Amino acid sequence: MSCIKKLPKITKSKKQKQQEKVEQENGKLLGLEGDEDLQFLLDGGQLVKIRSSSWQKTRFFRLQEDCKTFVQDSQKKRKKSQTFSIDDIESVRLGRQTEGLNKHTDPSVEDQCFSIVFKDKKKNLDLMAGSGEEATRWVNSLDKIMSKMRGLSSRQSSEHWFLSCMRKADKNHDNMMSLKELKHFLRQMNIEVDDAYAEELFKQCDESRSGTLEGPEIKQFYNLLTHREEINVIYQRFAKTDGQMSARDLLNFLYTYCIASYSPCLSILCSPAKQTNCMTKDGFLMYLSQEDGYIFNPAHRSLYQDMNQPLNHYYISSSHNTYLMEDQLKGPSSKEAYIKALMKSCRCVELDIWDGADGEPIIYHGYTLTSKVLFKDAIQAIKTYAFKTSPYPVILSLENHCSVEQQKLMAHYMISILGDALVTKPLGTTMPTNFPSPEELKGRILVKGKRLNKLDAFFTNNNIIEDGQVSEEDEAADCKETPQKQSKKKSKITLAKELSDIVIYCKSVHFNSFENAREKQAFYEMASFKESKAFNLAETSGNAFMHHNMEKLSRIYPAGSRTNSSNYNPVPMWDVGCQIVALNFQTPCKEMYLNQGRFMPNGFCGYILKPEFQRDPSSRFDPNTLSNGPWLKKKTFHVMIISAQQLPKIKINKQSSIVDPLVRVEIHGFNPVWNEKLQFNINVPELAMVLFIVEDFDTANRNDFIGQYCLPLTSVQNGYRKVPLLNKKGDVLPSAGLFVHTMLMDAQ
């Protein structure tokens, strides 16, 4: 006779009721309770998954009850269902807007097609619905839930993350948590505890003595786990009104640690306490978790800089070898790479164009095994996505290797596809003496390349020219050189008049010297510098380089020896005022963290106004020899790393391990607490960047990356602040963050 008590078997109807309850709770958390579009996704439906012309199979897709995870069921009974998270989706595109759908489907099914594009290197999910209306419903519903998910407050996101972790630990999917599942759940959340403590925690929450946690018991469990002692200490210090924080107490806290005025205090009190003008501990935690409590100054989140200065007065977010998805030796080329860069507000993209078969110009990295993409397809993608995230001008940097006939076709495609967006003549009716502003060039596309004559030909009736020879673009010539034999003589190419005519404000010329450029070159004539040459000029002639960039544009590009598409440090180039500091956007690295941080302010529009001392003709600023001047504003930056929240698991071979966090702060488990103080002395704060990097410390091997966050020092808020964490690609890690205290002060 068995003495083991068997748990009652859960009937299908009870499971369904539990599932519906979870769906309602998560829908309510998203603000979509009873929403028809959410219910459409939860019900799911059949879609045709397309991989090739021959592989097109029906799959059933549905949103799980966590309102976050999608599952696709195969028709094969034994095949495991595949899942992906809403957090992993970069965008959803209606129509045949990916290379896969364009290649493997007929134009007649355009309205039935849509694609789910993922943030990482995961392949696009190309799908076809039964009708155009159904496809539109899928896209609109997905867009709605993605928007709601991204709009969750820090507290809501934390709760949602908690529930998602709990669901992974719920092995039998009964929406209850046994002691065994609780232990697994703790490891999912990076909490290492012994069995005795886990049992004690379980008993404390299992008030019903049922042997499982459910409903309010799980909520209590969540509250115990998310208890933050460091917040209690701060709250108790300032809560002087019957154990709560009055408006005056809050003002005292804000004035002491956050630099604020009295006026907003009442508005940030949590709702239940407004009648007594007091903030509870939960309300205080909610306030610290809001965007106003983040380290990034919310006033810099939207467009706040003067956009009416000449174009060369701005740093411009710029990409190198934009067409590449990976390395520059054998990696794939794709129009998708242009879309990804433009959606990150990149404002200068590069096109390496070569003669293709059937008279069609192609883009790829010459003399390598990288794949090829049609020039006209890249231009169409640029047309579609150029101004999705920023209205300010996009520069097409052409590296032209084509014959005259295919150059004429290039010009035709740009003119016909880009239409009125393409700048084909100078703005105004007289010869300009300076660049137009980003504001004047809103929604416009500029071409950077070789030109056969001067720009004033537009105003002197001297614009009738024939095809002619010009020296090759510096980078184009570099790619032909070998380490054994460097070409000293610049090679020539024949340039088509049609292509020459659409180069207006960005005429490529060879750089000889700063003196030669100042005396002989017009403002619209710009040079491209290989990184080695640019760094040498920055070190030896910093002030001259900066003054050169007050008059003209400069483009910096990575050395050809970077075959793995690595990047150079962009900061020294910004320090001398270089505008187009081109990086390999496809490569996640510290240099790209710095680039994202530099362009995060000002509405993430891809343009940042340079400091005044980099625009003033009388400036004597030189980053190599700091003399007295308006740039010298000595500051001391204090940073205290207090704690971390919801650090994610390291996916590679470490699902069973506990994250051991290491935080690096550079100027150039669950809720771990450090209270570690750091201090940095800074001479030119307007050019300084702050970079936080979180790693999983490993004594035997290289530390594993967890998350990062970078921003300009001028955009840092003082006081107790949350630092959100981003992944290597610059996408937000849901719920993860650091809790810090910062103070930027005048140096003593």
From the annotation, which residues make up the binding site for substrate? 49-76, 448, 450, 528, 555
**Nearest CA to 156 among 164, 461, 38, 450?**
164
Amino acid residing at 511: F
Which active-site residues does the annotation give? 320, 365
Bridge-based pairing state of the strands 445-449 and 394-400: parallel
Q: Quick check: helix, strand or coil at residue 471?
A: strand
Structure-derived torsion over alpha carbons of residues 212, 217, 218, 219, reported in degrees to the nearest 10: 180
- Tokens of residue 304, six digits: 């706040």
CB 485 within 8 A of CB 440: no
Residues of the binding site for Ca(2+): 321, 350, 352, 399, 658, 660, 696, 698
CB 65 within 8 A of CB 23: yes
Q: Which residues of 714-737 are buried (b: 16+ CB within 10 A; e: fewer)?
A: bbbbbbbbbbbbbbebbebbbbbb
d(CA 596, CA 716): 15
Bridge-based pairing state of the strands 69-73 and 56-63: antiparallel
Contacts of 16 (CB under 8 A, 6+ apart): none
- Tokens of residue 365, six digits: 């990295």
d(CA 567, CA 556): 11
- Tokens of residue 145, six digits: 């839930």
CB 535 within 8 A of CB 572: yes
Structure-derived torsion over alpha carbons of residues 591, 570, 391, 388, reported in degrees to the nearest 10: -20
Which residues share a beta bridge with 740?
Answer: 641, 721
Which residues share a beta bridge with 399?
Answer: 352
Structure-derived torsion over alpha carbons of residues 137, 141, 144, 148, reported in degrees to the nearest 10: 170
- Tokens of residue 310, six digits: 């000449």
d(CA 523, CA 551): 6
d(CA 17, CA 52): 40
- Cα–Cα distances in Å, from 455 out to 434, 458, 461? 12, 6, 11
On the 0-12 / 13-18 / 19+ scale of CB atoms within 10 A, 390 is buried
- Cα–Cα distances in Å, from 362 out to 65, 356, 474, 492, 560? 46, 5, 20, 20, 20
| ∠ CA 474-480-484, rounded to 5° | 115
